[in-house]
Amino acid sequence: MVENKPQAVQRAYTSPQVNPYSRVDEEVVKVAEREDRCKKRLKCFMYFAAFVVFQTGIIIIFALTVMKVRTPKFRVRSASFDIDTFNITTLNTNPSFHIKMIAELGVKNPNFGRYKYQESSIEFYYMNIKVGEAFIPRARARDRSTRKFNVPVELSSVNIPRTLAAQFAASTVIPLSSQSRLRGKVELMKIIKKNKSTNMSCTMEIDTSSRQLRNLYCR
């Protein structure tokens, strides 16, 4: 019994065996964790870069469309005539005309903000000789819309030389042209205000037989 005791004690205090692969497993886990963190950081960076690119695209589109200031268009749209004051004399000795016309004008505003323009005038010409003029009051055209309004014009051949007046007397057409200029401001988001002027240059013909406006063209 005495001889077996040291062997029991020796077996009781024998050190446990060490797993040679435990340290390797720990290193593998640490490497995997580092790679996982790197992947997460890379993914976050990619998301942030995509967000920046998206926002930059939105800003560029916004600047090129909404914030871009375009020139409004000013045109003669149509015209009607007062039959009672549609007077034309085709006598070779003294050809003349005196016509009261109601011209419909239009200010087309393509911007995303209203266009406020000052008072102006429109002039009508027969072969570069002024035969009529009308007053244009100050007003505003709403964003992306066309403001239409009428102006009365009295057309008279009093300043036309007889040699030129004989040309319309020999036909049923009175060729006219119109010129005007509007000065105003485009207001974007009630913050940005930019001066913008627009010019009118139109040609047309008055058919004296049908008393209608035809071949209206504006550029």
* pLDDT for residue 3 is more than 80: no
Categorize the per-residue pLDDT at 91 as very low, low, confident or very high, splitting at 50, 70 and 90: confident
Categorize the per-residue pLDDT at 57 as very low, low, confident or very high, splitting at 50, 70 and 90: low
Q: Check if the beta carbon of residue 148 is closer than 8 Å to that of residue 108.
A: no
pLDDT tens readout for residues 99-126: 999 999 999 999 999 999 999 999 999 9
Q: 0.85 exceeded by the pTM?
A: no
What is the Cα–Cα distance from 192 to 208, expressed in whole angstroms? 48
